[in-house]
Structure 1
Amino acid sequence: MTRYARRTRRTLQVTGVGVAALLALSACSSGSDSSSKKDSSSSASADSSKKLTGTVTVFAAASLKESFTTLGKDFEKAHPGTKVTFSFGGSDTLAASITGGAPADVFAAASPKTMAIVTDKRDGKGTATAPSTFVRNQLEIATLPGNPDKVASLKDLTKSGLKVVLCDKTVPCGAAAQKALDASKLKLTPASYEQDVKSALTKVELKEADAAVVYKTDVKAAGNKVEGVEFPESANAINDYPIALLKDAPNAEAAKEFIALVQSPEGQKVLTAAGFLKP
């Protein structure tokens, strides 16, 4: 065999080894791509399985109406295919409905006492998971626009001839108002007791009452329909607002996400803009 032939043979052998190595690398790369695509597909499938759908039913204190309605729309926009429905009213009435078996996913009350009606029920029906405080609220006097009766204090509400309405004592805003009156040693006989804070405010808006003790958030929501008067005693009667996921919630996963939105910085921004205090 000539020297040229031997050199050519060695060159072919080396080339063959290189080609084999390239083929092996190509196979590994192909397998890696396939595995990567499979993992990506699995991840997409997992994300898809977490997509929220269906209706979230929220029972919430009347004073939360404006801010929760806004948050409900935000939630639906963030989770296409979901719908948030609300039942607003006096916290005690809502609690009674829940313990009576009304189907709901979330309960947001205006006081820990009314939340306890739900969480402390012993037969397990309609009970809730551990609640957490998400905002606080403070009382304010709502008067007719321009404050024609010159109400400047809680004591002024006891003036003869002044028609004042309060929330019922079983409702958080009524219990807080009574606490402020008791602390000031004031006695007030209202023209009527209303079943929720919005009903009390409406009496003033319709000029059926001269004043009402409501929440600051309600005065703010009413705009120029009423005038707000702050009073120092309200600092001793601030209500904590708890929220909880109800056990046996029909749409628990979506309900958890709604609660997360309420407690998130975005949710808190909406609530503080409405006049609520941070927890």
Structure 2
Amino acid sequence: MSLTPEQRITLHGFNNLTKSLSFNMYDICFTKTKEEREAYIEYIDEQYSAERLTSILKNVSDIIGAHVLNVAKQDYVPQGASVTILVSEGPVVEVPTESYEESPGPLPDNVVLQLDKSHITVHTYPEFHPNEGISTFRADIDVSTCGEISPLKALNYLIHSFDTDIMIMDYRVRGFTRDINGEKLFIDHDINSIQNYIPDEVKSQYDMIDVNVYPENIFHTKCKLRGFDLNNYLFGYTKDKLSDEEENEITKRLQHEMDEIFYGKNIKH
């Protein structure tokens, strides 16, 4: 049950609920030659280097009101990067009323909220098909917090930090906390869909599917970009360089790749 600050239940000790958001994004590209593929991967590694990913995660920390305790970051050879940030409870001010509502979070400004025993991680996975000319970049981000707030408040900023064709999001509340009488509380806010934390202008751009398990406080949403402009999926040139047959074939391959990722299964041509 969601409560206003005036109705807030007095807890016995610290709020021990763990709220975890997993945000997975995919960027798809057609790379016709080995040289194009290598150039695309080099571009991705530069665009989403460990240094830039660290900056993104530090902004997430600011949004959810955390103090950064430790940063571990690594650029991998031949490709990919990882960043892990350990964070602790930030300076506590009165928790804004909006933290109890389902609404998109900031983009970002200096919101100060309460959390403790938390971490934020990102791992990137550039990869390519051996013979279909498809290259895919995936980034996995996990934001786990304890306390009164939800990491969903960082979702709006994360969406705007990546150019993404497909997004897959999981949110779960684990554990329990107790009120002053010892009664267990397994969730401390109302939620019926992750979509309620995504701005309308973003939702209008995607086809979206929810799979939620309400009794277990598990929420799953996946999104696939609706509009398709082939020029956005060609690396280093535009579709006017292609024949009609090539344009149709490449479009078919790209949309097939996106459908398989979105539905999480292999689909026969």
| Greater fraction helix | 1
Q: Mark yes or no: TM-score above 0.5.
A: no
Give TM-score scaled by structure 2 length.
Answer: 0.24
| Larger strand fraction of residues | 2
Larger gyration radius, structure 1 or structure 2: 1
